[in-house]
Structure 1
Amino acid sequence: MTATGAHQDGTGTTTRTWLWWERRRSAALDMGLALLSTLECVGEGARTAERIGIPISLGILFGLLAGPVLVLRRRWPIAVVLVSIAVTPLEMGYLLTIVGLYTLAASEVPRRIIATLAGMSLTATLIISFVRLHQDVQSAELVAGSIWYVPVIAAMVSAAITLPPVLLGLYIGARRRLMESLRERADSLEQELSLLADRAEQRAEWARTEERTRIAREMHDVVAHRVSLMVVHAAALQAVALKDPPKAVKNAALVGDMGRQALTELREMLGVLRTGDGGPRSAASVPLAAVGAAAAAAAAAAAVQDGPSLADVEDLVEQSRQTGMVVELAVQGETREYAPEIEQTAFRVVQEALTNVHKHAAGAKVMVRLAHRDAEVAMQVENGAPDAAGAAPGAALPSGGNGLVGMRERVLALGGVFVSGPTDTGGFRVSAVLPHRDGPGG
């Protein structure tokens, strides 16, 4: 027998099928049962033919035709049961009846059909058993007191042949359907878990991307301003080194101070990133994505708590003044504390705006305004047109084009408003408004 197709089993493995059998073992079992059924039908057919006075060869022919039908039990269980009912009057096919009823009850055939065919088989077996027993009783000339013997024994025989295979088949069929249902639920649950894992990995990747962006923004804010001031002071130092030694010494000291401050801020930031996971953990006990997300969140929180505030804006302005820039600071409203993220974002906006003036508008006058309002805090940094005469020679600074983008991201993340653009006088204006959130002392 040759393979005729492919089939996937419960594990998803593709196997070859033999006609309607999914496995060779099933085919071997059915062929073995069909062989036994054929031998039984041939023997019973020969005895029945001899008893009722017909040619024995005819009984053997019936047995050869009926017995092999059992090989079709998985494909056509109804046909097998109908054949077993048809040969019941010849008192053959007991194995055919038992296995056929079991297969029918365990299959996906509707229950009403199973009940109908089982009832027909029971009735046929009951009638044949009754007639045969009645004949045996008459031939044995039993006493008249045995009137209930024949029907009771016939009912017991027919029930013993019909009911056990039907009940067992119903149980096996229900168990099989339950297992299939559980397998489908397990597959569905596995798919859901896989989907959740994919989503968790996506969220972790998103968190890592956001954290990388935040770190890059912090590094830009910390480094760009300090280094810009250092470059300006270094250019001024170069210009006055020979003409005004005391001023050159002062500028050199300022460059050193700026460098130390930049190194201190970088060291603090890197220290926060190294200890942001809250302590050592076993790599086997916590997933990498969870550790990375927790570390990123902790690092972000620590960086915000330890970062600069609005109280440092005056020092920031003073540092720019020391480079020769003309900067005015105006504060409106009552000064108060805000949430740490509000304080840090406001400081970074002013810092980056001043850094941009150093880069793109050397020698320009700058106006820094802070306004403390009831529901918000506003800041504005506006510079006039660049003045090449007031710029230190050799102080040209490169620009990565990320300053305004970083400021906008910071402000919008807190629900604020950010506006930037050139002014009518040839300068540039950066404005931001952040919603009020009480800080520790607010």
Structure 2
Amino acid sequence: MTTTGEVHRAAAGGPWWWERRRAAVFDAGLAVASAVECAVEGVPFAHKAGLPVWLGVVFGVLTGATLVLRRRWPIAVVLVSVAVTPAQMGGLLTVVGLYSLAASEMPRRIIGALAGMSFMGTLIVFVVRMQQDSAAHTDSFQVASWVVPFLVIITALGVTAPPLLLGMYVGARRRLMESLTERNESLERELGLLAERAEERAEWARGEERTRIAREMHDVVAHRVSLMVVHAAALQAVARKDPEKAVKNAALVGDMGRQALTELREMLGVLRAGEPVPDRTAVPLAAVGMAAAAAASRAEEPGAEADGPSLAEVEELVEQSRAAGMVVEMSVEGRVRAYAAAVEQTAYRVVQEALTNVHKHAAGAKTYVRLAHRGVEVAMQVENEPPPVLSAAGAAGLPSGGNGLVGMKERVAGLGGVFVSGPTDAGGYRVSAVLPAA
């Protein structure tokens, strides 16, 4: 920041302290004009002081040339103008110096002090000149006593006040523009940061959505298809020996397939519910936030209609595993009541995935399913005994992606619950989860 309040930019190409070449040329022109004026006024000053004329001219040129420093050192310019005021020279120097000082970033007390010095110097010079003129023309005309002081004060004010006020106005306007520019740049930076954060949140939301869809697809496909494979293996084993049982198993396979298709269709319907949306990143952040808040509020309402299964369907899930040949015992503790849709769906998926893992890794093992309705939470546990000798159903070779336990843990942790899984001392496997009721 220069003394005149203008931002100095090295890249602007101006010499020394000027930000532009045009400003340097303008100041040089003012300095030349002031030097010529002071040189002309230096001639009578040299006669009055008894000095050689050339010395008065040189003194005037040097004095007027100091105006070239007005942007860098406005105080020096004003002091020089005050110093040469008794010599009755430097009118342009005084006016431009006061303007440059008032437009600078100098403290107001310094500006006021120097402006007062310039005013008093100009006032004294005009008083002396008026008295000399009055004495020289005393015989010609007489004037009232108040005319001379009045004219002196008006003239001194006319020389000092206008450039001072104009400089203060220009300086205030420049500072206001700089403040607005800085505020605009600050707002642009803040908007840029907000846009980056919004993009990060959108990317995080897309990642969460992909993870959720992957979990849903895994839960739907893995369980239904696993039961279909188990029934298909049993169907292959009894097709010739027991046609009636083969027909029953074929019907179960068909039912499992239809249920899987139904759940997949419902999931795809949820994904397509927001169409048409040409670009998901173009959706306003406020709209996304309101939609997410509305969905969350619906999901948190007890008894609200869920997009997926609920705890009431766990018994049906157990019956399907029994129909596939698994020995399952189910027990329910506490008073059955409705929970938030997300809680019921997560509890159902935990039991479903645990039973699917039993089909995959411990075919024929006896399994225990326990549900406990407590005051502020609901707990579920699926435990299987050690598997017997590999049966025909278990020899079907069901693949495992290794994401089932991870998905269950993510679901439970997302609701603030606790998930524990691991082998038992008897050689079986246990999956336990506790979910908050609210």
Counterpart among 29, 38, 44 of residue 32 in structure 1? 29
Aligned length: 427
Query: Is 1:17–2:11 an aligned residue pair?
Result: no
Cα distance change, pair 284–57 in 1 and its aligned pair in 2 (3 A): farther
Cα distance change, pair 262–418 in 1 and its aligned pair in 2 (3 A): same
Which range is displaced more, 379-388 or 50-59? 50-59
Which range is displaced more, 232-241 or 388-397? 388-397
Aligned to 1:332: 333
Which range is displaced more, 108-117 or 258-267? 108-117
Superposition pairs of residues 234-253 of structure 1, within 5 angstroms: 234-253=232-251
Aligned to 1:91: 88
Taking the aligned partners of 1:63 and 1:39, their CA distance within structure 2 comes to 8
Aligned to 2:213: 215
Query: Is 1:345–2:342 an aligned residue pair?
Result: no
What amino acid does structure 1 have at the position aligned with 2:344? E
The alpha-carbon deviation at position 375 of structure 1 amounts to: 3.0
Taking the aligned partners of 1:93 and 1:11, their CA distance within structure 2 comes to 29
Q: Please give the TM-score of this superposition, normalised by the length of structure 1.
A: 0.88
Counterpart among 158, 164, 167 of residue 165 in structure 2? 167
Aligned to 1:55: 52
Taking the aligned partners of 1:110 and 1:204, their CA distance within structure 2 comes to 50
Aligned to 2:375: 374
What amino acid does structure 2 have at the position aligned with 1:229? L
Superposition pairs of residues 143-292 of structure 1, within 5 angstroms: 143-275=141-273, 277=274, 280=276, 287=283
The alpha-carbon deviation at position 50 of structure 1 amounts to: 4.4
Gaps of 5+ in 2: 1-5
State the secondary structure of the residue aligned to 2:154: helix
The alpha-carbon deviation at position 150 of structure 1 amounts to: 2.6
Query: Is 1:307–2:303 an aligned residue pair?
Result: no
Quick check: 1:304–1:344 contact (8 Å CA) kept in 2? no
Taking the aligned partners of 1:304 and 1:70, their CA distance within structure 2 comes to 84
What amino acid does structure 2 have at the position aligned with 1:35? V
State the secondary structure of the residue aligned to 2:241: coil
Quick check: 1:229–1:258 contact (8 Å CA) kept in 2? yes
Taking the aligned partners of 2:8 and 2:258, their CA distance within structure 1 comes to 65
Quick check: 2:237–2:392 contact (8 Å CA) kept in 1? no
Taking the aligned partners of 1:391 and 1:13, their CA distance within structure 2 comes to 85
What amino acid does structure 2 have at the position aligned with 1:172? V
Gaps of 5+ in 1: 1-8, 438-442
Aligned to 2:399: 398
What amino acid does structure 1 have at the position aligned with 2:105? E
Cα distance change, pair 282–46 in 1 and its aligned pair in 2 (3 A): farther
Aligned to 2:418: 417
State the secondary structure of the residue aligned to 1:247: helix
Which range is displaced more, 336-345 or 44-53? 44-53
Quick check: 1:417–1:432 contact (8 Å CA) kept in 2? yes
Cα distance change, pair 376–292 in 1 and its aligned pair in 2 (3 A): closer
Cα distance change, pair 166–220 in 1 and its aligned pair in 2 (3 A): same
Quick check: 2:202–2:281 contact (8 Å CA) kept in 1? no
Quick check: 1:118–1:162 contact (8 Å CA) kept in 2? yes
State the secondary structure of the residue aligned to 2:421: strand
What amino acid does structure 1 have at the position aligned with 2:435? L
What amino acid does structure 1 have at the position aligned with 2:195? A
What amino acid does structure 2 have at the position aligned with 1:23? R
State the secondary structure of the residue aligned to 1:337: coil
Quick check: 1:423–1:429 contact (8 Å CA) kept in 2? yes
Taking the aligned partners of 1:299 and 1:273, their CA distance within structure 2 comes to 14
Quick check: 1:207–1:293 contact (8 Å CA) kept in 2? no
Query: Is 1:76–2:77 an aligned residue pair?
Result: no
Cα distance change, pair 282–220 in 1 and its aligned pair in 2 (3 A): closer
Taking the aligned partners of 1:91 and 1:257, their CA distance within structure 2 comes to 113
Taking the aligned partners of 1:431 and 1:216, their CA distance within structure 2 comes to 22
Q: Please give the TM-score of this superposition, normalised by the length of structure 2.
A: 0.89
What amino acid does structure 1 have at the position aligned with 2:283? P
Which range is displaced more, 161-170 or 67-76? 161-170
Taking the aligned partners of 2:10 and 2:377, their CA distance within structure 1 comes to 65
Taking the aligned partners of 1:394 and 1:12, their CA distance within structure 2 comes to 80
Quick check: 1:363–1:391 contact (8 Å CA) kept in 2? no
State the secondary structure of the residue aligned to 1:21: coil
Quick check: 1:362–1:391 contact (8 Å CA) kept in 2? no
Counterpart among 104, 118, 121 of residue 121 in structure 1? 118
Aligned to 1:430: 431
Taking the aligned partners of 2:367 and 2:9, their CA distance within structure 1 comes to 72
Cα distance change, pair 28–35 in 1 and its aligned pair in 2 (3 A): same
Aligned to 2:366: 365
Quick check: 1:236–1:393 contact (8 Å CA) kept in 2? no
State the secondary structure of the residue aligned to 2:381: strand
Quick check: 1:201–1:289 contact (8 Å CA) kept in 2? no
Cα distance change, pair 211–296 in 1 and its aligned pair in 2 (3 A): farther
Taking the aligned partners of 2:148 and 2:16, their CA distance within structure 1 comes to 45
The alpha-carbon deviation at position 37 of structure 1 amounts to: 0.7
Cα distance change, pair 291–248 in 1 and its aligned pair in 2 (3 A): farther
